[in-house]
Structure 1
Amino acid sequence: MEPLFTPEQLAEIKAYHQPLYLGSAVSPLVYLGVLALILGALVRPFHRGAEACAAWLSRQLAFFRTAPVSRVILQALDRIWGEPGWGTAILFALFVDLFIQLVHTPSNIYFDYVLEHRYGMSTYTPLRYALDELKGLALSAIATSMLVLGLYGLARRVKRWWLVLGIPSALLLLVASALDPFRAQLYFEQAPLEPGPLRERITGLMARAHVPFEDVRVEKTSVASKRLQAYFAGQGPTRTIVLNDVIVKELSPEEILAAVAHEAGHVHEPKWPGRIASSVALIALLFAIDRLLRLAAKRGWFGTTRFADIRTLPLLWLLSFLVFFLSTPVSAAFSREREREADRYALQLTQDPAAFRRMLMKAARVNKMDPDPPRWAVLKGHSPPPLSERLAAVPPAP
């Protein structure tokens, strides 16, 4: 059996991953430090700045209060918030979010751009990288604004807001996956896989797997990255099989089928236990947030004057960080087991262990996968299982 990597390739992969492992170890501490700085020194100045900016914008844009369409929108926002002040709340949240983003910008540029280019993994131009970062900032700003208006606005007006918000939000989690095919196209252009033998073989494979799908599309990620990628997006009538243009170029049809078969294995995973657990966890998190908001109001933290004061937002981010940081090792362990099961499913579906092995080996070489990551990195949240483990589980070709 041919070796997975030459000594030179393995040395390069270890050198590539070393700063990634260091960043993974340090980043939680950095994030906690940033939140501590905000909570300890910046809540009040950020809030005063938000009040001043909101008052200035209210004076400068007063005509929107009387314009036909904008008047209705602003009145709706007033009702959602329950009283004046939603502008200050949104601006405060955006100031905090922007500060966190700016602190992390140097490390993001290093890990996402400099390091990737140094080891030949990225094809980003500076302009495209900057544009994609701006898209991310815009989406983050929209999500933050919706969080402020939805969570804080409802909490200020409804006693059991966490239950009123939690139940529909849990239901929306089930629907949100149907929008995946459309979210992916915000960053990369997609086109249908051209008719031909590969499309026909994928269609036949999915028929044997009993996996309905809408289309097979090619995502043009080579403008940013040299990595191989295949995934399923959406659910039911919106399910789309997405192959990036790199995998179409680098892998043989049999190897592509092995990758698609692995993704099909995830479709057959039992979904409801995880979905129910996620819904219960979401409602429990919202209840914990309610308790935290009440405690902050009672103690008057950060100058809060009432329940659901926007100045408590960094506390909510701290709580969320701790919950996700502590739960990630557990969820990653379940994820690794799902990946193992998807591998077994793909091998059974294709009956071609040689192609599956070649697919893993080529993906490892192109994507510069570390075959044996440190144990602490695996336990911290690494998924899928280490490559050496996945290869060892592939039976020898007959």
Structure 2
Amino acid sequence: MDPLFTPEQLAEIHAYHQPYYIRAAVDPLVRVGLSVLLLSVLVRPVYRGATAAAAALERRFGVLRTAPVSRAFFAAMDRLWGESGWGAAILFALFIDLATQLLYAPATVWFFYVLEHRHGLSNFTPATFAWTWFKGTLVNALALTSLVVGLYGLARRVRRWWWVLGVPVALLMLVASALDPYRSRLYYDQTPLPDGPLRSSITALMRKADIAFADVVVEKTSVSSKRVQAYFAGQGPTRTIVLNDVILQELSPDEVLAAVAHEAAHVSEPRWPGRIASSFALLALLFLIDQLLRLAARRGWWGVQRVGDIRTLPLVSLLVFLLIALANPIAGAFSREREREADRYGLRLTGDRDAFRRMLVKAARVNKMDPEPPRWVVLKGMSHPPIGERLATLDTP
């Protein structure tokens, strides 16, 4: 059987992945160091700057508080926050986030633009890269603003805020995946897969798997990336089979069908235990954050005098990062086992071992997957088994 990669291809793959492995080893230390810098040096001056900026905006645009349309917004925000001052809190959070992004900007550009172009995996132009980065920053800013108003606003006014916030958010998590087909459209255009043999084959395969779906769409990711991709998005009436335009160019119809069969396995997985566990984990996280906010208020860190002071945000971010870092190896182990089962399910569904193997080989070559990554990288939280392991399992009778 032909080797997965030629020696030249393997050398290029190692050259491509080596910087990412170094980053995986160094990044946790960098993030902890950045958090220490924020907490020990920057919290007080950034808070003073945010307060001054909010006061200047209030003087400049204070008329909006009494304008017929906008006054309802300001009144609602004051009620959510419990008093005025929410503008300074939002600006503090955005300033901290901006400072973090600026510090990471050189690495972000190098890894996601320079390195990807160097190894032929990106179609970004400087303009499209900047536009995508801007959209991601804007979405992140909106999410951060919601976090500040929701979490800190409740923490200031309700003693058991973590329960009040956690229960509805946990319930929302159970149904939020129904919005997945629409979120991806923020970044890429999608069009229905044209009628033809491939669409008919996918429809027949899903009928065999007893999986209902709303549509099969082609996502035009080639504007930014040369990687192949297929996935299911949404739930119930919004469930959509998404194929990117690259996979249609690089893989034959039977190989695309094998990729869809693999992804179909994730639809058939028992999802409720994981969702319920995630909901309880969220409640536990919010409870830990509550205890941290109360500790900061008791100790008076950074001038904090009450629960829900925005100056604790970098400390909360550090707590969340550490918990995620500790949970990643466990989550990765479960994810890799699900991917192994998805391979077995997809093979049973198609009954075409040759097409399944060719699909994995082509995906590995196009996406430049490392067939044997360092073991510590796998254990740190890789979501998929190494491609070499998947092929070896597939080739075992």
TM-score range, shorter chain: over 0.9
Cα displacement string for residues 206-259 of structure 1 (whole angstroms, at most 9, x for unaligned residues): 000111110000001111010000011111100100000000011011000000
**Which one-letter code corresponds to 2:316 in the other structure?**
L
Cα separation, 2, equivalents of 1:85 and 1:132: 32
**Does 1:71 find its partner at 2:71?**
yes
Aligned to 2:47: 47
**Does 1:228 find its partner at 2:256?**
no
Aligned to 2:200: 200
**Which one-letter code corresponds to 1:322 in the other structure?**
L
Gaps of 5+ in 1: none
Runs of 4+ in 1 over 4 A off after TM superposition: none
Cα separation, 2, equivalents of 1:277 and 1:298: 32
Cα displacement string for residues 122-171 of structure 1 (whole angstroms, at most 9, x for unaligned residues): 01000000000000110111011000000010111111110111111101
Aligned to 1:355: 355
The number of equivalent residue pairs is 397
Which SS does the other structure have where 1:156 is aligned?
Answer: helix
**Which one-letter code corresponds to 2:387 in the other structure?**
L
Aligned to 1:257: 257
Q: Residue 60 and residue 206 in structure 1: after superposition, are their counterparts in 2 closer, same or farther (change >3 A)?
A: same
Which SS does the other structure have where 1:313 is aligned?
Answer: helix
Aligned to 2:319: 319
Aligned to 2:338: 338
Which SS does the other structure have where 1:159 is aligned?
Answer: coil
Superposed displacement of residue 305, structure 1: 1.7
Cα separation, 2, equivalents of 1:353 and 1:377: 29
Which SS does the other structure have where 2:241 is aligned?
Answer: strand
Q: Is the 8 A contact 1:353 1:396 kept in 2?
A: no
Aligned to 1:275: 275
Aligned to 1:89: 89
Q: How does 1:1-398 map to 2 (within 5 A)?
A: 1-395=1-395
Cα separation, 1, equivalents of 2:325 and 2:27: 11
Which SS does the other structure have where 1:68 is aligned?
Answer: coil
Cα displacement string for residues 35-91 of structure 1 (whole angstroms, at most 9, x for unaligned residues): 110000000000000000000000111121122221101100000000111000000
Cα separation, 2, equivalents of 1:37 and 1:387: 39
Q: Is the 8 A contact 1:232 1:240 kept in 2?
A: yes
Superposed displacement of residue 382, structure 1: 1.0
**Which one-letter code corresponds to 2:165 in the other structure?**
L
Over the aligned positions, Cα root-mean-square deviation in angstroms equals 0.8
Cα separation, 2, equivalents of 1:101 and 1:180: 26
Cα separation, 2, equivalents of 1:200 and 1:71: 55
Cα separation, 2, equivalents of 1:396 and 1:284: 43
Cα separation, 2, equivalents of 1:152 and 1:102: 25
Cα separation, 2, equivalents of 1:234 and 1:113: 30
Gaps of 5+ in 2: none
**Which one-letter code corresponds to 1:361 in the other structure?**
V
Q: Is the 8 A contact 1:78 1:86 kept in 2?
A: yes
Q: Is the 8 A contact 1:228 1:363 kept in 2?
A: yes
Superposed displacement of residue 396, structure 1: 6.4
Superposed displacement of residue 261, structure 1: 0.3
Cα separation, 2, equivalents of 1:139 and 1:23: 25
**Which one-letter code corresponds to 1:302 in the other structure?**
W
Q: Is the 8 A contact 1:360 1:391 kept in 2?
A: yes
Q: Residue 287 and residue 396 in structure 1: after superposition, are their counterparts in 2 closer, same or farther (change >3 A)?
A: closer
Determine what percentage of the aligned residue pairs are the same residue.
Answer: 66
